[in-house]
Amino acid sequence: MATDGDAVVGFVGLDDLSLDMAASLLRAGYKVQAFEIDETLVAKFLNLGGTRSASLIEAGKGYTCTPWDDAYDNSLRIPEVAALIVQISHVDQINDVFFGQQGVLKGLQKGALIILRSTILPSYIQNLERRLGGHLLSLGNNNPHALVLKSVYSIDLTDEDSMAHLIEAYVSRGFSEVLKGRTMITSSGRSEANAKAQPILSAMSEKLFTFEGEVGTGSKIKMVNELLEGIHLVAALEAISLCTQAGIHPWIVYDIISNAAGNSWIFKNHIPQFLRGDTKVHSYRTVVQNLGIVLDTAKSLIFPLPLLSVAHQQLILGSSYGQGDDSDVSFVKVWGKLLGANIQDAASAELYEPEQLARQIVGKSVVVKRIGFIGLGAMGFGMATHLLKSNFCVAGYDVYKPTLTRFANAGGLIGNSPAETSKDVDVLVVMVTNETQAESVLYGDLGAVAALPSGASIILSSTVSPAFVSQLERRLQGEGKGLKLVDAPVSGGVKRASEGTLTIMASGTDEALTCTGAVLSALSEKLYVIRGGCGAGRELNYYSLFFSIIAFSGVKMINQLLAGVHIASGAEAMAFGARLGLNTRMVFDFVKNSGGTSWMFENRVPHMLDNDYTPYSALDIFVKDLGIVCRESSSLKVPLHIATVAHQLFLAGSAAGWGRQDDAGVVKVYETLTGVKVEGKLPVLKKEVVLQSLPPEWPLDPIDDIHRLNQSNSKTLVVLDDDPTGTQTVHDIEVLTEWSVESLVEQFRKKPECFFILTNSRSLSSEKASALIKDICGNLSIAAKSIENIDYTVVLRGDSTLRDAAVSLLGEMDAWIICPFFLQGGRYTVKDIHYVADSDWLVPAGDTEFARDASFGYKSSNLREWVEEKTRGRIPASSVSSISINLLRKGGPDAVCDTLCNLQKGSTCIVNAASDRDMAAELRGKSFLCRTAASFVSTRIGIIPKAPILPKDLGINKERKGGLIVVGSYVPKTTKQVEELKLQCGHFLKKLEVSVDKLAMKSLEEREEEINRVAEMANLFIGACKDTLIMTSRELITGKTASESLEINFKVSSALVEIVRRISTRPRYILAKGGITSSDLATKALEAKCAKVVGQALAGIPLWQLGPESRHPGVPYIVFPGNVGDSKALADVVKSWALPSRLSSTKELLLNAERGGYAVGAFNVYNMEGAEAVVAAAEEENSPAILQIHPSALKQGGIPLVACCVSAAEQANVPITVHFDHGTSKQELVEALDLGFDSLMVDGSHLSLKDNIAYTKYISLLAHSKNMLVEAELGRLSGTEDDLTVEDYEARLTDVNQAEEFIDETGIDALAVCIGNVHGKYPASGPNLRLDLLKDLHALSSKKGVFLVLHGASGLSEELIKASIQRGVTKFNVNTEVRKAYMNSLSNPKKDLVHVMASAKEAMKAVVAEKMRLFGSSGKA
């Protein structure tokens, strides 16, 4: 991995594992040097290509030194050693190796990395770390050497970065089928040390387990593995002793168990050496010593290890046999003497192949026409249904009736009793739990034996004792019906039972085996047969070629002994690991690749980690099975200490009430006693606590640097996005939905910093998606080559399996970067764990609803493990690099750049991030393939966020059209958001629910009918200016497999596409909820080929404008991801984009008039015709207007008149508001506040100035609380309006000085002035307006931010109107001329009332339109 060829790794101490590690490092491009005194090892090291170091000091040095070496001692050499690997076998070596006069620390300098290989206890390693941390500090900054280091190399010896970094590494060989003896490393250390060591450790190992935190984890995990190896060893020895005493050949037991559930790595690899006599007594003494250390540690933690304690005592007994010459005696001889079993002779007896006999039997087996099956429990049901799949006719029986129903639904026949099930069968399979049940179904009431036809065969697969089998054989012979018995215990679990891949151990007469061979073969992957008649009896010797039928019940018993002990030992080991503070999932991953693994460990421990005790095999079964083992061992006089303790543990679990739960539940015994939790789920964390625990952000905002680098770097960022949600954080970026070479060339010619390609691959199978990505990448390559000086980087937002498709076309990238941080979506990555924010908590991503997606689900929250999961193990978690938040925030961009640029070519790297500033970018000409969330793209190209986009920003806030909301996403968050949307917006939203059942599960006719129904209704609603919600029914329908779920998704998605395609009315906006939904609608329904991301409708919710080629050019398209926002987010977006009840407020109308140099007419209306006349004129003139209601009109028309005006304003296509005019009493004004008016006039002109101020202020405060504009009058107009007359002597002009006080005290928004204007008709001499006074009032109102209003506009000349507007009037009240037009229309007789109404409306409309033109508001809407 070393890219510059200069990185050196030093070794102190060598062994075979060290040599393997060194060879791996050399292959990765490192240089290696070592200090070792064993010449044989040194010679091997040199042959590999390593360099020998003459001393401990030199092992930690590089090849160059400071130019003043003669002036100062060797501690001033500048290290080029990337890491020093130190091997320590005893704690006493620490002082000499590290801190002695010639210790390795003399050659180490700033930030040195030490990798410690040791078997010493964790406490000693932790103490060493503390001492190393203080070593350089002990020099002191006043020391001459320290001064040189500080002045020349900026090494501050009080800075923790100057201290040595320590990693503890437990190195072993992996024993799994994958690793096959290759190197495996478990490392632990603090985050900075881990980050530094990870590339080197990965280079040295085939599999790497990294634990972050205190050092010493490797020693701890070693103890857990040794615990399992010790227990498994003694259990294996007990099993061999039992089989010997039971008269079963040890090698046959070995062959069978090695392929059965009782197998373990120790059994498979140790027992052959044991049986051959190759293991000696003295070889166990080291095991005893190591197990003693484990027990001492458990004792110090007050943690019980009953199984290990017994195993330890047994091994002490065996290894203490003899001293001196006797210690070299074979262990098989010693163990046989201790347990009273002649194992050595048994192992030497003549042998044959049970599998070969099985093949012979199956080859001549007879045809079986009908099978009876009694016992449809967990395994029995799987076995019986597999026989159905194998084309056997099977009749089943079980006491649990629902199981019988399930079996009938699977195609089986059912019987109501054992007798009924056994009629006319050729073979009867008995798969009940125990001897009592077997006795009952065979000989009890309505038992099977009486009903069996003559010559039938019985396969007994229950776990019973050998004695029971022997007795049953004799009883069947006594029936006189020629009934045959095959003893066939099974092993393998529920899954293998249903797949027909069990291990079966069968024994019986030749005839019985021939008659049942076809059935046994169908059920098994491994079939072992021991030939021999049932009359051979139990007096067996080892030279006989045949065993009796009871022999294989004995083998089953031995298998269950081992299986039970292995489950219990797995529980003990995992609980102990939890008590040691280890990550239990990583413990499991380590052990399953190590010598401590077993079949049961790998199968049952996942249940413990998931805290899932669904009973695949009940705990009580092992209470029974190990009970049989203990009883038989007593009968055979073989002491089985381990099996007996395991039995007691299962008994304890059953006594606690867990007997009917899964047998993995035995771990609860340990959990209950000790308080530990084995469950491997990551905890849910308090978000605030996690974020506050992180180092401060890098202090410098990198945005300017990013812009500068982008200007100097011509690379275009090309984002391949599998759904449109990747545009969640960008703006002013284009999105392509097709990728022809021509389109890509056109994009590249624009030389954009970035563009998106919407691949729409999420709904495709992985094969089709990969083919699609290859097609896109191929076109990208062709397009880029056709334009000079074009380079680009690909960001991949899609399933990780697509990475290979991209690489195959683009060539090997320098690295694959994974950065899923997304602030707006609540996505954080801390310590390689990806979290999803849920309110104030951070939930591990693997435990969220998104991880349970039927098509794209995953289990891992740790991104290293997620990579391994998604690549199906091709990229192991141990090979994945990581950039920590510490590095981002302490080292800054330069440190990140160095790390990225030094990654091994083609490697994978995770970027941790908890804020936008944590994001990293590529530098130095490297090519990265990035799999990221939306935040990466905006940070990478230096986009500065902007405020959410609103309709007014796009100039469509005045459009009177309905919007379209389409919801296809099924995640629970979306369902909650839809419920909140209906709750908040149900009063104006039209809702159409599409039946998923009809779309995906019913006939084509029903599907078409549903699509037509929804499309037709949506067209009507949108055409009626109603925002319309189309949503799929919320009941999630999934398939049995991921591909079936994808097919259902496709049917639903394609139906939504067709619905939207059939909506011909152009919507005001379109909102698509869900990734697949938004992608399909954009590309297929709306036929968009290019769109522009204009911004976000809400944080994390992108908003596009559709291109000119689409079906609705320019329509805003809101892409609402399924995983963004809280429960109110969807409602918030819809409310901000929905058709507003009013296009404007009175205040906005007057403000626009003030800015535009015109005035708005406020027209008094008295009925529906009046309101319609004003609206019709306004729409015809494209003018804003105000509908005005006088108190006298309200008295006559009441609330219906107000409702009529409000409705007319809401339905209008131009801005119309409703105003309450001349409120002269508090009562009527307070009532008006809640009637729907936009504004009101407080008329206290009849009061004294003081009282007018008080009156107006009171109402103003109330109205402003409801966001209503307040108009008031100062001065008093003469004239008559609605039967209210003010005589000339009562009139008075507005005083400027009083006006200033009035405005300041009342807080009004608009002032109705008296400058000689009147209500009603002007005198014959015409209006006499004081324009000079108006000018002074305008100067005041401009300063105060108050609008000027002129009542009495009827009869004013065009010149006066224009002069008034020039002097600040923005609202003219018009009443008299409109009323006159109405009254005059009534003088002409009409045939019908509707004609009267139409005539009156047209007459008023003409006057209103003329005034709008006069006021200058025409064309200003």
Tell me the catalytic residues.
556
1114 exposed, middle or buried (CB, 10 Å; 0-12, 13-18, 19+)? Answer: middle
Residues 524 and 500: beta-carbon distance below 8 Å: yes
Three state DSSP letters for 695-723:
CCCCCCCCHHHHHHHHHHCCEEEEEEECC
Residue 76 is given by DSSP the state G
Reduced to 3 states (helix: H, G, I; strand: E, B; else coil), residue 456 is coil
User: How far is Cα 710 from Cα 1026, in angstroms, rounded to an integer?
Assistant: 46
Transcribe 318-352 into DSSP letters.
HHTS--GGGGGSBHHHHHHHHHT--HHHHHHS---
Q: What does each C-alpha distance from 161 to 76, 106, 192 come to in angstroms? A: 17, 18, 9
Q: Which two tokens stand for residue 1108?
A: 């000119």
Q: Which two tokens stand for residue 517?
A: 């061979």
What residue has token string 């009332």?
Answer: 1393
Residues 85 and 14: beta-carbon distance below 8 Å: no
Q: What does each C-alpha distance from 1043 to 558, 766, 858, 1039 come to in angstroms? A: 42, 10, 15, 8
Residue 1392 is given by DSSP the state S
Q: Which two tokens stand for residue 776?
A: 């896109």
What residue has token string 């209210």?
Answer: 1284
Phi, psi angles (nearest 5°) of residue 531: -75, 155
In 3D space, the residue among 904, 798, 900, 780 whose CA is nearest the CA of residue 855 turns out to be: 798
Q: Which two tokens stand for residue 112?
A: 């040195």
Three state DSSP letters for 921-981:
CCCCCCCEEEEECHHHHHHHCCCCCCCCCCHHHHCCCCCCCCCEEEECCCCHHHHHHHHHH
Residues 1076 and 1049: beta-carbon distance below 8 Å: yes
Distant-in-sequence, close-in-space partners of 114: CB < 8 Å, separation ≥ 6? 83, 84, 86, 104, 108, 132, 164, 165, 166, 167
Alpha helix stretches (DSSP H) within 258-376: 265-276, 285-300, 306-319, 331-339, 343-348, 354-363
User: How far is Cα 1119 from Cα 965, in angstroms, rounded to an integer?
Assistant: 10
Number of neighbours of residue 557 by Cβ within 10 angstroms: 26
Reduced to 3 states (helix: H, G, I; strand: E, B; else coil), residue 545 is coil
User: How far is Cα 187 from Cα 215, in angstroms, rounded to an integer?
Assistant: 8
Distant-in-sequence, close-in-space partners of 1016: CB < 8 Å, separation ≥ 6? 1062
In 3D space, the residue among 635, 532, 541 whose CA is nearest the CA of residue 342 turns out to be: 541
In 3D space, the residue among 31, 9, 7, 18 whose CA is nearest the CA of residue 183 turns out to be: 18
Residues 1053 and 775: beta-carbon distance below 8 Å: no
In 3D space, the residue among 75, 85, 69 whose CA is nearest the CA of residue 33 turns out to be: 85
Number of neighbours of residue 227 by Cβ within 10 angstroms: 27
Provide the edge-to-edge strand list for the sheet that holds 833-838: 685-686, 841-844, 833-838, 827-830
- 791-797/1116-1120 β-pairing: unpaired
What residue has token string 């100067």?
Answer: 1339
Residue 156 is given by DSSP the state -
